[in-house]
């Protein structure tokens, strides 16, 4: 029976976390994303969605969908409100990740369960995982990716990064560090090597039995 290890991937904005997770998935890992789970749980007809609406107001619902941009606008500059929001969202995401882990563990089909968690260390979630991996990249490269992906400017990038640990802090805290230089094949090779290390199991020692002599 396979032993399913629980792995957390973290890192700063646009550092390549999702790409690392995708490559781990190609190697055979089961991958989930905290952000994707938030999208799924944050609906007007879910328990979490109702709690968030109660906290921030019904005007965050547009055309039957909770608008995350309106949520961001409501909590920006309001630490207490942001803390209250995270107090609702983080436990719900953790419960859902654990539920999926237990489900995958019963299937006995994967060696690694990988969760992409941007605020892993900031939220104190590292103790829920067997191994933590930090993805780091040059800050200018991250900024350009962020701008291309979101359309936001440097001010927004800096504002979001100010809420996170620095890449150096994350790398120091993590069990493994993946450096993303921007060269995709180098990153793929580094992830493949990481997968080998995480799934390596030393050969079992043979048990010697003494056969009684006749």
Question: Where are the extended beta strands (E) located within the chain?
Answer: 5-11, 30-33, 61-62, 65-66, 112-116, 131-137, 176-180
User: What global pTM score does this model have?
Assistant: 0.89
What is the distance between the alpha carbons of residues 71 and 57, in angstroms, rounded to a whole number?
A: 9
* Architecture of the structural domain at 36-109: 3-Layer(aba) Sandwich (3.40)
What is the DSSP secondary structure assignment for residue 175, as one 8-state letter?
S
CATH class of 1-29+112-196: alpha beta
Q: pLDDT (tens digit, 9 = 90+) per residue, 57-105? A: 999 999 999 999 899 889 988 889 999 999 999 999 999 999 999 999 9
Q: pLDDT (tens digit, 9 = 90+) per residue, 104-144? A: 999 989 999 999 999 999 999 999 999 999 999 999 999 99
Please give the pLDDT value at position 170: 97
Q: What DSSP string describes 6-58?
A: EEEEEESTTSSHHHHHHHHHHHT-EEEEHHHHHHHH-STTSHHHHHHHHHH-G
Q: pLDDT (tens digit, 9 = 90+) per residue, 152-165? A: 889 889 988 988 99
- List the domain boundaries for the chain: 1-29+112-196, 36-109
Count of CB atoms situated within 10 Å of the CB of 5: 16
pLDDT surpassing 60 at residue 214: no
What is the distance between the alpha carbons of residues 55 and 200, in angstroms, rounded to a whole number?
A: 46
- Token pair, residue 58, equals 């019904």
Q: pLDDT (tens digit, 9 = 90+) per residue, 175-197? A: 999 999 889 999 999 999 999 99
């Amino acid at each position: 029976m396979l032993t399913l290890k629980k792995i957390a991937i973290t890192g700063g904005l646009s550092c390549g976390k999702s790409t690392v997770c995708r490559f781990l998935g190609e190697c055979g890992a089961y991958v989930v994303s905290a952000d994707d789970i938030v999208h799924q749980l944050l609906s007007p007809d879910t328990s979490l969605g109702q709690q968030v609406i109660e906290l921030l107001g019904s005007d965050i619902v547009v055309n039957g969908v909770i608008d995350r941009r309106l949520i961001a606008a409501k909590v920006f500059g309001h630490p207490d409100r942001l803390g209250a929001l995270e107090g609702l969202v983080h436990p719900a995401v953790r419960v859902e990740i654990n539920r999926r882990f237990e489900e995958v563990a019963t299937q006995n089909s994967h060696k690694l369960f990988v969760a992409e968690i941007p605020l892993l260390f900031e939220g104190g979630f590292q103790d829920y995982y067997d191994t933590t991996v930090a993805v780091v990249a040059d800050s200018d490269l991250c900024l350009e990716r962020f701008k291309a992906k979101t359309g936001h400017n440097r001010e927004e990038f800096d504002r979001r990064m100010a809420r996170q640990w620095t890449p150096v802090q994350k790398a120091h805290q993590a069990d493994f560090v993946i450096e993303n230089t921007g060269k995709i094949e180098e990153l793929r090779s580094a992830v493949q090597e990481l997968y080998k290390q995480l799934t390596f199991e030393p050969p079992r020692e043979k048990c010697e039995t003494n056969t009684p002599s006749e």
